[in-house]
Chain A
């Protein structure tokens, strides 16, 4: 349900999208306000990832519209994409460049005033300072994830989209990620987090939305415990 305080970061209306022969998004609406974190759960299938790609502007919906900070996301309006950052299954990094070179490149793409310095600062903040001159292919999954997040947040987007970020992370890395997302959410970052592991989402999210066959089976504020929600969740995804 759209929030009523007017600071609507993301407003997607009437999204339809086919993938191959299947409709994976059917007349979907989604609104996210600053400081909100929406966990998108649901059975496996192309719907959740495709939703993220549409929200990020990487895929065009067959019908419907996505607005970031009130402005429509369209091919001919590249500057609107500044508002969003994406952390996907892949790191989006070049193995032939060092971490620092990778982030400097990203900073230049976004037109940041001091790209190299911004990259250095972001890496330090992510605890990757010492490894800044290494190639991404040398990093463990947890560290690579951190680099990807640093890259996604470099240009200070207002909305962060994450696709199953907790996959294959060890406990320490998961905790670190949860803490970071929580802190940034407090600072006003809007988050959309795709997951099929509800447990991870429960600690980060303020809202839960379950996508089944391209529609919301539920989309509501998080209340109560995970254990309380699970039976209902099983019911929803079985439908």
Chain B
């Protein structure tokens, strides 16, 4: 049983992209240590910000794509769209897990608490649960057509939930002002910090692309293999 060229080539390409991105992450580490200044109030621990924030962005990107691609799937019925959405969900789960672990690691030394209900952490926590729900549902369904349709429904509904979560957190916080120390440190960033953050964002984007390509390729290879068995 030979696997077709397509999926294998994808996995290879994805691995290359991911390797490049991981080098980029190492680069970001270097930048974070050497290049960026130490933040006055928060000290060295603040530097985890360069991993924490782009992970959150990537998780949100991953989720948005799941939602958009799901809507496209319901319209166009192409199984490749479903495969992409599933790959994006798995990668997004990983990114949100990273964000949710780096968040407390950052928060503890700076704010003295492991968890805060600030907008970014809360939203990412919801994304995490939505990803889990999405993947749990997929795991519980055998028929590929049903699995694709149901996942697409959750994807779309989940995407529309995000603005409501945001709105709820916003309303909650304006009515319950948090102590000043919990404000996310963003208003005016010195140029080195901003540059490093943007570079890190780009690196994480490449990492996302690489990981999704690998996952997509693996899924395609698996399906091709099964089709070979079943025919």
Closest-CB distance, B78 to chain A (whole angstroms): 11
Nearest CB in chain B to that of A62: its residue: B77
Interface string of B193-223 (1 = CB under 8 A from A): 0000000000000000000000000000001
A19 to B144, CA, bound (A): 8
Among B144, B145, B226, chain A packs the most CB atoms within 10 A around the CB of B145
Count contacts on A: residues with CB < 8 A to the other chain. Answer: 5
What is the interface of chain A mostly: helix, strand, loop, or mixed?
strand
Which residues of chain A are near B144, meaning CB under 8 Å? 20-21
Provide 13 A-B residue pairs closer than 8 Å at the C-beta atoms, listed in order of the A residue: A18-B145, A19-B143, A20-B142, A20-B143, A20-B144, A20-B230, A21-B144, A21-B223, A21-B226, A21-B227, A21-B230, A22-B230, A22-B231
Nearest CB in chain A to that of B79: its residue: A18
A19 to B230, CA, bound (A): 12
Which residues of chain B are near A18, meaning CB under 8 Å? 145
Among A18, A19, A21, A22, chain B packs the most CB atoms within 10 A around the CB of A21
B positions within 8 Å CB-CB of A: 142-145, 223, 226-227, 230-231
Closest-CB distance, A101 to chain B (whole angstroms): 31
Closest-CB distance, B171 to chain A (whole angstroms): 39
Which residues of chain B are near A22, meaning CB under 8 Å? 230-231
Closest-CB distance, B136 to chain A (whole angstroms): 21
Which residues of chain B are near A21, meaning CB under 8 Å? 144, 223, 226-227, 230
Which residues of chain A are near B226, meaning CB under 8 Å? 21
Nearest CB in chain A to that of B227: its residue: A21
A18 to B144, CA, bound (A): 10
Closest-CB distance, A214 to chain B (whole angstroms): 12
Which residues of chain A are near B230, meaning CB under 8 Å? 20-22
Nearest CB in chain A to that of B143: its residue: A20
A22 to B143, CA, bound (A): 11
